[in-house]
Amino acid sequence: MALLTVTGLVRRFGSLRAVDGLVLSVEPGQIHALIGPNGAGKTTAFNCISGFLAPTAGRIELDGCDVTGWPSHRLVSAGLSRTFQVTKVFDDISVRENVALGVRSRLRMNRRFWPGGAAVSAVTKICDEILDTVGLTARAQSAASELSHGERRVLEIAISLSVAPKLLMLDEPTAGMSAGDAGLIGRLVRQLARTTAVLLVEHDIDLVLGLSDRITVMAQGRAIATGTPEAVSRDAAVQEAYLGRSVDR
């Protein structure tokens, strides 16, 4: 059974249909990319799925549960976490403390004024495991403001992992990165997909083709193709609307 199922998703802004009948599914352990030209409706669809916009119509199911119209905080509790195009971290606290905020929230500790030693140790252990996974262990004590752009993007992914998501949504995770840093993000996403399904919006088409298990291409609010990277890259409608060239892999 699909972990995420989107059926007939519509989002209108007045007379404009920014998303028009989108159908999408993400399987457990799968990396599914949502791509398309600027204005295709990708970000609007992303925001509807993650609870930052209410759909006008359609149905969204997460792990078999109808979550259509749920707010973002409720979706986090249900197992969905996301990053943003513009990196959102807390600059004035350490890398570890950024991650710890999410861990404490998941363990329902944020309202406990005096957590016990065992609880604090548990949070530290989980934080250290996450930082080790994303490769930020050496920066654990650094203020987030001291990180490079690439490290900040990785920290945002670590924060998203702190709530133990079933589905991780990544919004342009390599935006503004060098080719080397983008490659590191790609390898990290592939590693994370061993335990967490990933839905991503990404403009680096070479990264998408090399990383994704399946791709959905949007144009003018609609999905015009869905399939493997090989099939999508050779689809005539995709060539015309987005790629503009033949892609050999």
- Domain end among 109, 137, 164: 164
pLDDT for res 247: 40
pLDDT for res 82: 94
In single-letter form, the type of residue at position 28 comes to P
What whole-number distance in Å separates Cα of residue 239 and Cα of residue 148? 36
Q: Report pLDDT digits (tens) over 30-66.
A: 999 999 988 899 999 999 999 999 999 999 999 999 9
Show the domain range for 111.
Answer: 88-164
Mean pLDDT score, 108-123: 68
Mean pLDDT score, 194-219: 93
Residues 171 and 225 both lie in one domain: yes
2 Cβ partners below 8 Å, 6+ apart? Answer: 25, 26, 27, 61
160 Cβ partners below 8 Å, 6+ apart? Answer: 81, 82, 83, 102, 168
Q: Centre a 10 Å sphere on the Cβ of residue 71 and count the other Cβ atoms it contains.
A: 12
Residues 94 and 213 both lie in one domain: no
What whole-number distance in Å separates Cα of residue 171 and Cα of residue 192? 15
What whole-number distance in Å separates Cα of residue 40 and Cα of residue 153? 24
pTM here? 0.89
**Residue 222 pLDDT exceeds 90:** yes
Residues 9 and 113 both lie in one domain: no
**Residue 193 pLDDT exceeds 50:** yes
Q: Report pLDDT digits (tens) over 128-167.
A: 999 999 999 999 999 999 999 999 999 999 999 999 999 9
78 φ, ψ to 5°? -85, -10
pLDDT tier, 209 (very low <50, low <70, confident <90, very high otherwise): very high
Residues 198 and 183 both lie in one domain: yes
- Domain end among 112, 135, 164: 164
- Round the average pLDDT of the chain to a whole number and report it: 90
114 Cβ partners below 8 Å, 6+ apart? Answer: none
- Domain end among 164, 193, 210: 164
Residues 248 and 203 both lie in one domain: yes
| Number of domains the chain is built from | 2
